[in-house]
């Protein structure tokens, strides 16, 4: 499939960090990312339940499109759902990552893993996007492990306790935005989005 490269993609998210990461990655391709809030302040989305991030992202974009398709003026739209999946905990917190982070936080996760030898985990990012005609879905992963010591100040969520496998011994929170986006699940998903559409100019 070939598509003209879009100049602008609206991102429906309330998370400024996700917006910064997506903007950083897509700026390399001269694609601007703007918050959907810039054109529509009153989108009501019921947080969907789903078995995995892909289902949740898909259900979210359907709801968002229902309320803003006319305001998009043909521009693209993306939504993202992500989570941390810890092997020794059978994939927990997974699709409950946001809730678990706001309740027991990183300390709670560290306590659950203290006695476990296996600290392996992965982040998953599922993006559903609308290209003005159709919805597409892509997914990116980032393998790593959980650090029992919380380190660093940047990033968000579980970043102070997540050490990416492809990095050195630092957590995501000890990295710059550029270093995190070189390795992150969100970047992998954004790259899949670009590849999937096979823009002729790239
Ligand atoms: P969402 O907004 O429903 O996609 O929530 C995803 C949750 O997973 C966030 O609130 C974080 O707790 C966690 N999460 C997803 N991606 C990241 C990341 O890049 N860094 C840190 N935490 C993340």
- pLDDT, residue 201, reads 46
Question: DSSP per residue over 33-46, as a string?
Answer: EEEGGGT-S-----
Share of the chain above pLDDT 90, in %: 79
Ligand 1 atom closest to 172 (CA): 20
Q: Who's near 17: CB < 8 A, 6+ residues apart? A: 155, 156, 157
Q: Which of helix, strand or coil describes residue 164?
A: strand
Residue range 179-194, pLDDT digits in tens: 999 999 999 999 999 8
Q: What is the pLDDT of residue 3?
A: 67
**Ligand 1 atom closest to the CA of 142, numbered from 1:** 19
Q: How far apart are CA 148 and CA 142, in angstroms?
A: 19
Looking at residue 148, its pLDDT comes to: 97
Given the residues 70, 81, 159, 168, select the one marked as catalytic.
81
Average pLDDT, integer, range 53-80 = 93
Among 157, 173, 180, 181, which residue has the most ligand 1 atoms within 8 Å of its CB, making it the best to mutate? 157
The CA R_g of the chain, rounded to the nearest whole Å, is: 17
Which residue puts its alpha carbon closest to atom 8 of ligand 1? Answer: 83
Domains of the chain are 8-196 (3.90.950.10)
Which residue, among 140, 124, 142, 35, has the nearest Cα to 79 in the 3D structure?
35
More confident residue, 112 or 72: 112
Comparing 67 with 180, the larger pLDDT belongs to: 180
Residue 146 scores a pLDDT above 90: yes
Counting atoms of ligand 1 from 1, which one is nearest the CA of 21?
19
Structure confidence at residue 122 as a pLDDT band (50, 70, 90): very high
Tell me, rounded to whole angstroms, the distance of Cα 85 from its chain centroid: 13
Tell me the percentage of the chain whose pLDDT exceeds 70. 97
* Best of 97, 147, 175 for a ligand 1 pocket test (most atoms within 8 Å of beta carbon): 97
Here the tokens at position 182 are 């070189």
Whether 1 has a pLDDT exceeding 70, the answer reads: no
Residue 2 pLDDT class (50, 70, 90 cuts) = low
Identify the CA nearest to 67 among candidates 46, 90, 98.
46
* pLDDT score recorded for residue 71: 85
How far away, in angstroms, is 98 Cα from ligand 1 center?
A: 6
The kind and range of the H/E element at 142 are: strand 135-146
Assess whether 81 carries a catalytic annotation: yes
Q: What is the mean pLDDT of the chain?
A: 93
| 200 has a pLDDT exceeding 70 | no
182/191 Cα distance (integer angstroms): 11
d(CA 89, CA 75): 40
198 band by pLDDT with thresholds 50, 70 and 90: confident
Q: Is the pLDDT of residue 202 over 50?
A: no
Residues with CB under 6 A from ligand 1: 15, 81-84, 97-98, 101, 123, 155-159, 184, 186
Q: What integer is the mean pLDDT of 108-137?
A: 96
């Amino acid at each position: 499939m070939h598509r003209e490269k879009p100049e602008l993609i609206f991102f429906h998210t309330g998370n400024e960090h996700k917006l910064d990461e997506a903007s950083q990655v897509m700026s390399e391709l001269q694609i601007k990312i703007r918050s959907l809030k810039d054109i529509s302040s009153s989108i009501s989305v019921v947080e969907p339940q789903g078995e995995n991030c892909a289902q949740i992202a898909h259900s979210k974009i359907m709801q968002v499109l229902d309320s803003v398709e006319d305001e998009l003026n043909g521009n693209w739209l993306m939504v993202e759902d992500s989570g941390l999946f810890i092997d020794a905990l059978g994939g927990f917190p997974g699709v409950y990552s946001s809730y678990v982070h706001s309740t027991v936080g990183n300390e709670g996760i560290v306590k659950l893993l203290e006695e476990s030898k296996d600290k392996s985990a992965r982040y998953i990012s599922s993006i559903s996007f609308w290209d003005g005609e159709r919805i597409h879905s892509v997914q990116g992963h980032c393998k790593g492990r959980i650090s029992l010591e919380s380190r660093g100040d940047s990033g968000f969520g579980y970043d102070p306790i997540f050490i990416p496998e492809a990095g050195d011994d630092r957590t995501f929170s000890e990295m710059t935005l550029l270093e995190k986006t070189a390795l992150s699940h969100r970047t992998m998903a954004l790259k899949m989005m670009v590849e999937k559409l096979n823009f002729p100019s790239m």
